[in-house]
């Protein structure tokens, strides 16, 4: 993990998305205390149970949100890509994080002191409205994704995950799968053995090709049909 306090706000893509209703002088003050942190794949960015001191968004990379279950197994809640606010689920409702965030690719986060964000929220109603919209978007995304997975059978769930990474993360039919078979199983609520067997069946049926960690979708229409009806 590498800290870089020189975070450039002038060219930050989040400026128009998040700070649109913050006065220029306030934005400058915020940027003065904002800093970036680099994470390698596997780094724990946020640990469940830790005290919340910062407001965090993902600038580069890909992360997973997970929660420990009663039997100490991780349950993956969702994945976040750049410009997602990975700390929003707990930041205004709890003093401690209710989930863990782990880098599944090399990633960069941008951090703001939480007290500064709260002061802006208290004094700027439009800023507060922007935050409420972001919180709702994060919650809606997780709810919809989990409902979509739960309505499917095993093959449909595995197909859904492959299409998710293909269409929403990499925009390509060939990509390096960033998570293990075990993590796929954690995400869709199935066993690792079932996931491995289903991927093998997809390969035998010439729906996908597998090259180690790389996936190539050969027949996206069939995969979409399996995802929808499987």
110-123 confidence digits (pLDDT tens): 888 888 888 888 88
Which single residue is written with the structure tokens 């709702």? 136
Helix axes of 24-33 and 114-123: crossing angle, nearest 10 degrees: 170
38-77 confidence digits (pLDDT tens): 999 999 999 999 998 888 888 899 999 999 877 767 789 9
* Average pLDDT value for the chain: 85
Q: Which range scores top for mean pLDDT: 21-25, 35-39, 66-70, 224-228?
A: 224-228
Give pLDDT, residue 31: 66
Give pLDDT, residue 20: 67
70-74, 94-98, 149-153: least confidently modelled range: 70-74
Give pLDDT, residue 11: 54
Phi-psi region of 72 (alpha: psi -120 to 50; beta: other; left: phi over 0): left
166-194 confidence digits (pLDDT tens): 999 999 999 999 999 999 999 999 999 99
Q: Which burial class, exposed, middle or buried, applies to 142 when counting CB atoms under 10 A from its CB (0-12, 13-18, 19+)? A: middle
**Which residue would you say has higher pLDDT here, 106 or 21?**
106
Tokens of 220: 């996206």
CATH fold group of domain 2-149: Jelly Rolls (2.60.120)
| 158 neighbors 198 (Cβ within 8 angstroms) | yes
Percentage of the chain exceeding pLDDT 90: 49
* CA pseudo-torsion sign 134, 140, 143, 144: negative
CATH architecture, range 152-229: Orthogonal Bundle (1.10)
Q: Which sequence spans correspond to the domains of the chain?
A: 2-149, 152-229
Q: Are strands 100-103 and 63-68 parallel, antiparallel or unpaired?
A: antiparallel
**Which residue would you say has higher pLDDT here, 218 or 20?**
218
Give pLDDT, residue 5: 47
């Amino acid at each position: 993990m590498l800290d870089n306090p020189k975070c450039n706000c002038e060219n930050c893509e989040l400026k128009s998305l998040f700070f649109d209703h913050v006065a220029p002088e306030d934005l400058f003050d915020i940027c003065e205390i904002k800093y970036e942190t680099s994470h390698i794949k596997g780094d724990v960015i946020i640990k469940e149970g830790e005290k919340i001191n910062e407001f965090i968004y993902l600038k580069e990379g890909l992360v997973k949100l997970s929660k420990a279950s009663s039997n100490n197994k991780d349950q993956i809640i969702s994945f976040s890509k750049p410009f997602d606010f990975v700390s929003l689920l707990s930041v205004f409702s709890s003093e401690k994080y209710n989930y863990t965030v782990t880098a599944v690719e090399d990633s960069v986060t941008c951090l703001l002191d939480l007290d500064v964000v709260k002061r802006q929220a208290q004094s700027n109603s439009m800023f507060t409205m922007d935050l409420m919209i972001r919180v709702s978007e994060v919650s809606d995304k997780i709810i919809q994704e989990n409902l979509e997975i739960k309505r499917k059978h095993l093959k449909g769930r595995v197909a859904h995950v492959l299409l998710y990474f293909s269409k929403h993360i990499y925009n390509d039919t060939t990509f390096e799968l960033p998570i293990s078979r075990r993590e796929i199983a954690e995400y869709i609520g199935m066993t690792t053995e079932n996931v491995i067997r289903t991927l093998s069946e997809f390969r035998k049926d010439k729906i996908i090709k597998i090259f180690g960690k790389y996936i190539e979708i050969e027949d996206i229409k069939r995969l979409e049909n399996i995802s929808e009806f499987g």
